Amino acid sequence: MEKIKLDGLIAAVCTQLDDGGAFNPENMKCEIDYVLKSGFDAVFPLGFAGEVKAFDRCERKEIIKNTVDIVSGRAKVIAGTFAESTRAAGQYIQDAKEAGADIALLTPPSFYPLTQEEMIDFFIKIADDEILPVIIYNCPESLNHMSPASVSKVSVHPGIIGLKETSDQITLQKMQILFRDREDFTLISGDEFLYLPALSIGIESFIMGGPSTLTPGWCVEILNLFNDGRYNEANKEYLRFIDFYHSLFEATSCCAMAAIKAAMEIRGMGERFMAHPVKSLDRSEMKRVEKLLESFSLV
């Protein structure tokens, strides 16, 4: 399987739902078109930002197929294929391929604690099937995480093309030291609060959930300022950027993605509804988010 090198910005898109919890393809099109017009290089449906575990197998395939149709060749589609067993992961990856996705991204199974050897075996067996190229995801919401040594061991497999690392700055640095000279393996930073620090150590590929869909132009602006050597301006915008997102995530009692979806609704980019039982923002919380958006000139 040919290795794919990824660079630039990848949007972990929200899954757009109506007030009854049904998938809303019209709003999904608005979201994805907005992200791509802002300058993003790839789209990632069904990550944690996309509420992947809320959907059954048929729903997941429908969401991926809808995303592929909307993207229509403008960018690569990286499908979230999270599963709790090797067999189920293979099924989800096959479904993603049939739906037209280019790449599969998944965490190690997280229902039971796994050893590093068990996680290595999981990804090797997945990659041996040669269904789609695979990106490993070290996700903070997941129970199991691969160590730098384990990722290095599986990274030589031709079917494993990258790692999305969303843990902490020290682990990200260790991963970058390991993979900085690898042309056949992409290290992707997945934490918006480490965006500029990741740029400063040479990371060139990023997946962000909320910011990539709510403020994609802001993400692109910071990247362009940094790449143009305008480091003081990049730092100024980055600090304003993280100030906004810290404030947004602290503005309500709901989860971070509920706040993102609420802000998207206020900006006319979708609706606030989360898959039950996760609480969507009520009207009083929406007003707090709207005031915050106004204070940052985002509405």
Among candidate residues 251, 254, 243, 248, the one with its CA nearest the CA of residue 280: 254
Neighbours of 158 (CB within 10 A): 12
What does pTM read for this prediction? 0.96
The H or E element spanning position 49 is none
> Each residue of 177-211: pLDDT tens digit?
999 999 999 999 999 999 999 999 999 999 988 99
Query: By three-state DSSP, how is residue 113 classified?
Result: coil
Is 194 within 8 Å of 12 (Cβ atoms)?
Answer: no
Q: Give the per-residue pLDDT at 209.
A: 85
Helical segments of 42-194, H only: 57-71, 86-99, 116-128, 148-154, 169-179
Distance in angstroms (rounded) separating the CA atoms of residues 273 and 250: 19
Is 264's pLDDT higher than 80?
yes
DSSP annotation of 140 reads T
Q: Residue 106 is encoded by which pair of tokens? A: 């998944």
Query: Which domains, and CATH codes, for the chain?
Result: 8-214 (3.20.20.70)
> For the chain, percent helix, then strand, then coil, each to nearest 5?
50, 15, 40
> Each residue of 230-255: pLDDT tens digit?
999 999 999 999 999 999 999 988 89
Is 35 within 8 Å of 16 (Cβ atoms)?
Answer: no
Is 258 within 8 Å of 210 (Cβ atoms)?
Answer: no
> Each residue of 23-74: pLDDT tens digit?
999 999 999 999 999 999 999 999 999 999 999 999 999 999 999 999 999 9
